Amino acid sequence: MSEEFRDIYYHQPFHDDVQSSAGENSSTYTQNLQMLDPSSYMDHFLHGSTDQNALSRAFGLTPSTSEPPVVDGGDSNKSKKENQHKECLEDHGDNSSKKEAKAKKKGEKNKQREPRFAFMTKSEVDLLEDGYRWRKYGQKAVKNSPYPRSYYRCTTQKCSVKKRVERSFQDPSTVITTYEGQHNHLVPATLRGNVGGIFPTSMLTPSLQLEGGTSFHAQLLQLHQMTNNHLYNYGSANNVYDQQNLTTLHQPQLPDSEYGLLQDMIPSFFPKHEP
DNA sequence: CGGGTTTGACCGGCGC
DNA sequence: GCGCCGGTCAAACCCG
């Protein structure tokens, strides 16, 4: 299961003025990047990680020999559940007899487990913009939490990426976003008149860049896709966000070798140190 | 009218 | 076998 939830980030933007729509508001910018203390919810995701560990893992640089990335003594139950639910996933069956479809699927061991990628963001807005378009397909109450969990699917046809969004019940200001799967397409051309989030980077408009949650998420996602998966190429070399956008990003402390590599890959993710 | 959201029902896997 | 649980479906609804 540690493979499913391999990356958790904690993103804490500023909040000056907050409105109610994911786009305009969280007019925040990234101020700090750190791992969240293991909460009960997240226990099965990560445990006692440090910034460096987290980031290293995030970039797929975790030395395979060192600490187990995501281990929690008591997560056996959870992990089973996670696995189990994985197996329930996926069925776009539009046919009338759902049961049959599911039965078939079941028989066909259609249990591919998509990689997951989760991070936490301090935001008043639940649904952080990442450049993609999502359709909500469900909402469930979260056990032991007053906050519901929402389920979204990428609206692009043939793209089965999903994401879950829920608010941490321990820190209601924190939103936990879990992506599942890989987009097999580029970011939709327009999003509120802008190029949304992640990829066609050089096109980002200043206004969008200032949406801290957006660009940060975008970059994390991009990072994840680039480092952990080689199936998709979004033109990494030229993906350079305006440096201003992330100047306050907490600079990760990585070994020079790793840091240099990452800097090459995502320059904007590692803003130059300017005191 | 098309696309998104809401929400109760349903499903399959566990654990007891 | 039953109940719980997380996840999904899909009809009804909403909205631009």
A106 closest-nt by C1' vs CA: B12
Q: Is the pLDDT of residue A265 over 70?
A: no
The pLDDT assigned to A10 comes to 59
For strand C, give the nucleotides within 7 A of a protein CB: 5-10
The pLDDT assigned to A219 comes to 59
- Token pair of A262 as six digits: 């990452």
For residues A266 and A240, give the distance between their C-alpha atoms in angstroms, rounded to a whole number: 7
Distance, CA of A139 to C1' of B7, in Å: 8
**Length, in residues, of chain A:** 275
Alpha-carbon Rg of chain A, whole angstroms?
18
Question: Other C-beta atoms within 10 Å of A87: how many?
Answer: 15
In chain A, which residues from 107 to 166 place their CB closer than 7 Å to nucleic acid strand B? 133-140, 150, 152, 155
For strand B, give the nucleotides within 7 A of a protein CB: 3-15
Instruction: Tell me which residue of A12, A53, A54 sits closest to A33, measured CA to CA.
Output: A12
Continuous segment of H or E residues that includes residue A209: helix A206-209
> Percent of chain A at pLDDT above 90?
4
Start-end of H helices in A3-137: 51-58, 76-88, 98-107
Predicted TM-score of the model (pTM): 0.56
The pLDDT assigned to A149 comes to 92
Question: Which is more confident, A7 or A80?
Answer: A7
Sheet holding A162-167, edge to edge: A30-33, A5-13, A116-122, A174-180, A162-167, A148-154, A134-141
Is there a contact between A56 and A35 (Cβ–Cβ < 8 Å)? no
Q: Which residue's alpha carbon is at the shortest distance from the C1' of B15? A: A77
State pLDDT tens for residues A133-178. 899 999 998 888 888 899 999 888 778 889 899 888 778 888 888 8
A91 closest-nt by C1' vs CA: C8
Partner residues linked to A33 by β-bridges: A11
Whether nucleic acid strand B comes within 7 Å of the CB of A77, the answer is yes
- Token pair of A205 as six digits: 């408009």
State pLDDT tens for residues A52-98. 343 333 333 333 333 333 333 333 333 333 333 333 333 333 333 33
Residues near strand C (C-beta below 7 A) are A 81-82, 85, 88-96, 98, 137-140, 142-143, 149, 151, 162, 164
Whether nucleic acid strand B comes within 7 Å of the CB of A190, the answer is no
Distance, CA of A142 to C1' of C5, in Å: 10
- Token pair of A100 as six digits: 């049959």
Distance, CA of A166 to C1' of B15, in Å: 26
State phi, psi for A271 to the nearest 5 degrees. Answer: -60, 145
Average pLDDT over residues A181-188: 74
Q: Is the pLDDT of residue A273 over 60?
A: no
State pLDDT tens for residues A94-140. 333 333 333 333 333 344 556 777 777 777 777 777 778 899 999 99
Residue A189 — pLDDT band, cuts 50, 70, 90?
low
Distance, CA of A82 to C1' of B16, in Å: 19
